[in-house]
Amino acid sequence: MPRVNRSFFESGTFHIMVQGLNKNYIFENAYFKNTYLKLIKKYKQIYDVDIIAYCIMDNHTHLIIHTKDMEEISKYMHDINSVFSRVYNEKVKRVGYVFRDRFKSQNIYSQDYLLKCIKYIHMNPVKAKIVQNEKDYYFSSYNDYFIKNIDKEKIITNTFLNEEEIQILKNMEEKEVEIMDVDRTDDENLEIAIKQMIHNQHITFNEIKKDKKIILELTSELKKKGYKQKDIANKLKINEKKISRILRSAK
């Protein structure tokens, strides 16, 4: 049976999404979008993260972040969203939660999938019919990649892509790929996350069930993303008590 490399479960590249509570338009104007962009830039100087791509829509945001430690992303996103929430509530004179969830995340395990994710993110405003072309949207990282002189300070400084890959990205046609979507349920996104892990490691559900180490590492990684152990067990078709025993034995 194939062994799973530990680096597979500790991948340092993540697709992150945040959405307004009740899908509210919390980024409905340039002021709020620019505020969020400033916070993205400010806190990446504090935490050990690199921004690979971003797109700020009216009611949600996509980020692709690279880090050596998932906890850095948790602290990074917490600070950004906490400060933005205070600014937003003060500006519109309201109280209460601003974001729907803490954030959603999905590992990116290959360079090919990374390119597809970047393309997907840059195409968001086109699919929403806000602009006709990716380059016409100010609040995404598209022009950070492809325009040398733009009228804003670039956030993308370390692209993680070589010149050939950037050219591939520029010429890429968007295709339907299994990418975490803000409008999917947590259950759907969990299923997609598991499918992607299995696909990239060439393992099967049956192989997972037979290997306690794989169960431990896979479950631990999914729980870090905020998925409930009960839901993970249901998707993996493994008894939750068995998973609990494996997790306890590892402590």
pLDDT digits 0-9 by tens, 6-45 = 444 455 888 999 989 888 899 989 999 999 999 999 999 9
Q: Is the pLDDT of residue 86 over 70?
A: yes
Provide the token pair at 122: 């840059």
Q: Tell how strand 13-19 and strand 104-107 pair up.
A: antiparallel
At 69, the amino acid letter reads D
Query: What's the chain's length in residues?
Result: 251
- d(CA 82, CA 84) in angstroms, rounded, equals 6
Asked whether the predicted pLDDT for residue 71 surpasses 90, the reply is no
Q: Where in the chain is the domain with CATH 3.30.70.1290?
A: 7-171
Mean pLDDT across the chain, nearest whole number? 83
Cβ(80)–Cβ(40) below 8 Å: yes
pLDDT band at 108 (very low <50, low <70, confident <90, very high): confident
DSSP states of 204-237: -HHHHHH-HHHHHHHHHHHHHTT--HHHHHHHHT
Q: Report which secondary-structure segment, H or E, holds 116.
A: helix 111-127
In sign, the C-alpha dihedral spanning 124, 176, 117, 135 is negative
Q: At which residue do the structure tokens 């906490």 appear?
A: 82
Q: Indicate if the alpha-carbon torsion angle 130, 154, 34, 69 is positive or negative.
A: positive
Buried b (16+ CB within 10 A) or exposed e, 53-91: bbbbbbbbbbbbbbbeebebbbebbeebbebbbebbeee
Dihedrals phi, psi of 172, to nearest 5 degrees: -70, 135
DSSP-based three-state secondary structure for 13: strand
pLDDT, greater one: 202 or 53 = 53
Residue 112 has pLDDT above 90, yes or no: no
Say how many Å lie between the first and final Cα of the chain, rounded. Answer: 25
Residue 89: phi, psi to the nearest 5? -65, -40
Read off the DSSP letter of residue 140: B
Spelled out in words, what is the top-level CATH class assigned to the domain 7-171? alpha beta
Taking only the tens place, the pLDDT of each residue in 115-172 is: 888 999 999 999 889 999 999 999 999 988 887 666 667 788 666 788 888 888 888 8
Residue 3 — pLDDT band, cuts 50, 70, 90?
Answer: very low
